[in-house]
Structure 1
Amino acid sequence: MQVGENDSVIIVTHEPNWLLDWYWKETTGKNVSHLIQDYLNGRCKLRMAGDLHHFMRHSATPSDKPTFVEHLLVNGCGGAFLHPTHVFKNFERFSGTTYECKAAYPSYEESSGIALGNILKFRKKNWQFDIIGGFIYFILVFSMFPQCNLVHILNEETWSGRLQSFSSTIWSALLFIFEHSYVSSVGSLTLLMASYSFVPSKLTRKKRAIIGGLHVLAHLTAALVLMLLMELGIEICIRNHLLATSGYHPLYDWYRSMESEHFPDPTGLRTRLEQWTLGLYPACIKYLMSAFDVPEVMAVTRINICKNGMMSLSRSVLIMYYTSVFIYFWIFSTPVVSLIFGSYLYICINWFHIHFDEAFSSLRIANYKSFTRLHIKKDGDLEIFTLAVDKVTSIYSTCSRSHLFRSALH
């Protein structure tokens, strides 16, 4: 079959390379461009594509120059999630032709507003991020535990003085990370390289370094603030005798004293049970109760480290201490790391127009669905209809086959 001189052609491809090439500042689809420009030579009236999960239609503006494609249409609204439209707002040229946007769904304003969900809903939509986010924050401040010299903050008489001392302590901790620590410095440098690589390559290296560096600085500062707040909380509890500091098992010691006082054992049954179970009888109770003694473990170990240094403690005690710190710090830090990362995506998508895939896939928006239908009239004119629904239902009900058959008949 041969295309006639007066025939019109529709080209359908999987990617809208007119938008993506403009966005990524590259050139793809050379074979398709060769077909349209050199063979069809103005007979391609419409190019259609999906892949980007939104709807956009551009039409060529009147010009004296030859127009190779009259209309450009993207409809990928059947995708698993939504893509933004406002990122492509400034697109206007393709293959030497100027285009104007005739329709965008969702609209530019709606698309920009949807991005706000990265700040408000990122953690809810991506709760699995807590696992790695809390672990990264702990690595960033691992070398900072414990903080033994916090008395100067608590001894300040005014809130402005406390805030100033708090800020100077944060700055000192930041310098310590890069000058003396091992784990925290390696973690920070690794995060910096990962953050630099995460910034899209469409930007210059300088801009990628600035954006990636500011991103890491925000996380590192937040991790240090949370670390210092946690250490201050433990220090305040110790000073006000809200945490036991006599040993590692205060709850078990209290249990044994209550047991001896209210449940005497004149026959020595408990001693025989300990012998028969090879010590498992009291040991199991002791270490099960230690699960509720985590704050006390942190307080006692912290005091011992500050007095005698790390080398004075056994490896098992240090493992127990850092495990206890990790549990509390992970719970403390996960809301913050999600908030900062979500804010980063929001700023990038709305201010710099980057991370359009990551910023919207994280929201997992199932709404804004549409489909396109083409109708060729008897006289050869082409009509294009696109039907859309803003909100997809999440409530479904089952019905029998007979009910479906009756509904189809009506």
Structure 2
Amino acid sequence: MVAWYDPGVLAKTGLKSLLSETIGRQADRRLLDAVARPQPLAFDYSEDGDGKAREELWLDYVSDLGDGWDSTYAVASAVMAPTLEVRDATGQVHHTEGGDVLVFGGDEVYPTASVEEYQARTVVPYEDALNDRRHRPHLFAVPGNHDWYDGLVSFTRLFCQGRRSRGWQTRQQRSYFALKLPHGWWLLGTDMQLESDLDASQVEFFRKVAAQMGSDDRVILCNAEPAWIKQQVKPHAGRGFLDNNIDFLEQRILGKRVSVFLAGDLHHYRRHENTEGRQKIVAGGGGAFLHPTHLPRVDTRPDGFVLKECFPSQKTSRELTWRNLLFPAINPWFAAFMGFVYALLGWGVAANLNEGAVSAPPLREVLSAALQSTGSLLVAAGTLLGAIAFADDRRGKAWQKVSGGVHGAAHLVVALLLTWGVSSVAAPLASELQWSLRRDFLSGLLLFGGGALVGPLVVGVYLLLSLNVFSCHPNEAFSSLAIPDWKNFLRLHFDKDGELTVYPVGLRRVPRRWQHGHSPEEPVWVPDPRDHRATPPALIEPPVVIGRSKAPPLTLGTGQLAPALVTQDEQPPAGPV
């Protein structure tokens, strides 16, 4: 799994994110591809190779993959199986088949996009999982923010040039697409990763696709992130007037034709349903670290969608957060970094106190020495500002400053107490060991070691309290844990009666040990039978069956229409519509 608190990974990912955001705003690749890369309005899977209407189709949806091998490969192995028997909570066994179509729902690689990372973390696991077990599925991919970190260059090379690998065959030419499925079903994949917005060419593309739909056709809309949750959890980050094309697409072009909303970005399973039977499903369990499910404001939606199931349960999610008390052991490189910071905070102070010291100095003398040390004060200011910048702003800027200030102050107090303790033991310990470098070197060593233990522990306690008490830092509190388990994907079946059945498949604990398969009809790697704790794929909840019925007329939701796409005949009245 990616070590997200490794200082090197943090620096590299932050730089790539900054470059992507800066360059992307100046040159939107989607606009160039719309001109240079023609693509059919829809890839037709409603008919077979002989031109006859398909009676049924299996399709797999996997999102947020390409992180750790164990997690990504375990999901890939289940997805690429010719058939998969999965049990539900009652013990009933359901027969499913590997999809002819495979959809990646966003963030196909971590931590940043590059040809090498895609190859190692995404391509090879799926090639080894398929081997010669069945035919290669047709792959369509939705880009997420991590795919955009190199300006979508590697994503385009891998998924948008008709390339074949031993694991799949690609067909799309742009970063968005439309699939025509049997019995009037459609699947639309968007690219909304530049400030959570769709460019005008993309929305016009989907307008033309919608014009090909019948009045009773149904749509599965795949976005890289669940806007219905993002806006609820982080209300202060609402979209502005220029960033509302996704609303325009959902409300004005597609309307209630959308029976199913699919998204990743949050690395767990969560399903909301309204009284009309429409579904909003987050299934971001393709391989990335687990995200928490116990954020209180995502349970009931203001537009009538109610939480039906989540995986893992909220109780389990809350319990998993306590693993942050093991932060120093789980994140050793970050622990080393914190040891260095604590050494910078206290070494100069300890050195001044060591001169002529014959006994332990009082705490007030340590505080006085710290306030007189210019170097320590500069590092302290950097620590405080860094903690404020790190703090979650979902409760507003004032909350960010207060919580970050408390976190930074906790580090400074702990560092002061550690310096006091080191100053008290350095002199007699150095004398007893008869070290030639004596107290200053020993003080620095003790400060580094103590800081490497208590510094990350302060961070872990801060993240634990932030999430379990104040519902903040869900990403940071679980990326620190790099949990490879609780994975999931969706298997969709369009049957001969036109019904869609969604099978939410979960893997409670992925294997940690593997051995070579014995034949081409097996994956290249199979779970080691000695790994007794690994669990087989099983249904997270009973299959979700969605019938076909005539869509209601298009209605407008709240918010203003995208101005670039409103024609003279569609001018909205003054004020919100």
Q: What's the TM-score, normalizing by structure 1?
A: 0.69
Match of 1:268 in 2: none
Match of 2:251 in 1: 37
Closer, same or farther in 2 for the Cα pair 1:193/1:56, shift >3 Å? same
Contact persistence 2:492–2:500 (CA under 8 A) = yes
Q: Does 1:19 align with 2:229?
A: yes
- Structure 2 gap segments, 5+ residues each: 1-210, 524-577
- CA drift of 1:89 comes to 4.8
Which of the two has greater helix per residue? Answer: 1
Could you tell me which amino acid in structure 1 is paired with residue 238 of structure 2? T
Match of 1:361 among 479, 486, 503: 479
Distance in 1 (alpha carbons) for counterparts of 2:512 and 2:363: 47
- CA drift of 1:150 comes to 6.8
- CA drift of 1:349 comes to 1.5
Matches within 5 A, 1:189-228: 189-228=381-420
Contact persistence 1:89–1:108 (CA under 8 A) = no
2:516 alignment partner, SS class:
coil
Match of 2:48 in 1: none
Contact persistence 2:233–2:297 (CA under 8 A) = no
Match of 1:5 in 2: 215
Show CA shifts across 1:341-377 (max 9, x none).
1111111121122221111111111111111111123
Match of 1:242 among 425, 432, 442: 432
Q: Does 1:340 align with 2:458?
A: yes
Q: Does 1:137 align with 2:342?
A: yes
Could you tell me which amino acid in structure 1 is paired with residue 506 of structure 2? A
Could you tell me which amino acid in structure 2 is paired with residue 57 of structure 1? R
Q: Does 1:78 align with 2:286?
A: yes
- CA drift of 1:208 comes to 1.7
Higher radius of gyration, 1 or 2:
1
Closer, same or farther in 2 for the Cα pair 1:151/1:217, shift >3 Å? farther
Match of 1:118 in 2: 324
Match of 2:53 in 1: none
Match of 2:78 in 1: none
Match of 2:42 in 1: none
1:48 alignment partner, SS class:
strand
Match of 2:263 in 1: 49
- CA drift of 1:205 comes to 2.9
Match of 1:275 in 2: none
- CA drift of 1:333 comes to 2.4
2:493 alignment partner, SS class:
strand
Could you tell me which amino acid in structure 2 is paired with residue 189 of structure 1? A
Matches within 5 A, 1:153-232: 169-178=362-371, 180-232=372-424
Q: Does 1:106 align with 2:306?
A: no
Contact persistence 1:150–1:232 (CA under 8 A) = no
2:295 alignment partner, SS class:
helix
2:513 alignment partner, SS class:
coil
Show CA shifts across 1:140-194 (max 9, x none).
12331232587676xxxxxxxxxxxx8xx3345335434x220011111111111
Could you tell me which amino acid in structure 1 is paired with residue 320 of structure 2? I
Distance in 2 (alpha carbons) for counterparts of 1:2 and 1:151: 88
Contact persistence 2:226–2:265 (CA under 8 A) = yes
Could you tell me which amino acid in structure 2 is paired with residue 226 of structure 1? L
Contact persistence 1:55–1:105 (CA under 8 A) = yes
Closer, same or farther in 2 for the Cα pair 1:403/1:98, shift >3 Å? closer
Distance in 1 (alpha carbons) for counterparts of 2:491 and 2:521: 28
- CA drift of 1:400 comes to 2.9
- CA drift of 1:83 comes to 0.7
Could you tell me which amino acid in structure 2 is paired with residue 197 of structure 1? A
Contact persistence 1:57–1:72 (CA under 8 A) = yes
- CA drift of 1:212 comes to 1.4
Distance in 1 (alpha carbons) for counterparts of 2:433 and 2:219: 79
Distance in 1 (alpha carbons) for counterparts of 2:287 and 2:331: 19
Closer, same or farther in 2 for the Cα pair 1:191/1:382, shift >3 Å? same
Distance in 1 (alpha carbons) for counterparts of 2:286 and 2:328: 25
- CA drift of 1:124 comes to 2.0
- CA drift of 1:93 comes to 2.7
Contact persistence 2:324–2:460 (CA under 8 A) = yes
Distance in 2 (alpha carbons) for counterparts of 1:352 and 1:136: 27
Match of 1:157 in 2: none
- Structure 1 gap segments, 5+ residues each: 63-68, 154-165, 245-292, 300-320, 406-410
Q: Does 1:384 align with 2:576?
A: no
Contact persistence 2:467–2:474 (CA under 8 A) = yes
Match of 1:298 in 2: 438
**Equivalences, count:** 307
Could you tell me which amino acid in structure 1 is paired with residue 422 of structure 2? M
Distance in 2 (alpha carbons) for counterparts of 1:355 and 1:222: 22
Contact persistence 1:142–1:183 (CA under 8 A) = no
Contact persistence 1:376–1:383 (CA under 8 A) = yes
Closer, same or farther in 2 for the Cα pair 1:402/1:373, shift >3 Å? closer
Distance in 1 (alpha carbons) for counterparts of 2:316 and 2:519: 40
- CA drift of 1:394 comes to 0.5
Closer, same or farther in 2 for the Cα pair 1:171/1:220, shift >3 Å? farther
Contact persistence 1:10–1:46 (CA under 8 A) = yes
Contact persistence 1:143–1:182 (CA under 8 A) = no
1:378 alignment partner, SS class:
coil
Distance in 2 (alpha carbons) for counterparts of 1:211 and 1:172: 29
Match of 1:309 in 2: none
1:397 alignment partner, SS class:
strand
2:280 alignment partner, SS class:
strand
Identity of matched residues, %:
29
Distance in 1 (alpha carbons) for counterparts of 2:397 and 2:438: 44
1:47 alignment partner, SS class:
strand
Instruction: Give the CA RMSD over aligned residues.
Output: 2.5
Could you tell me which amino acid in structure 1 is paired with residue 283 of structure 2? N
- CA drift of 1:46 comes to 1.0
- CA drift of 1:17 comes to 1.3
Q: What's the TM-score, normalizing by structure 2?
A: 0.50
Contact persistence 1:115–1:350 (CA under 8 A) = yes
1:404 alignment partner, SS class:
coil
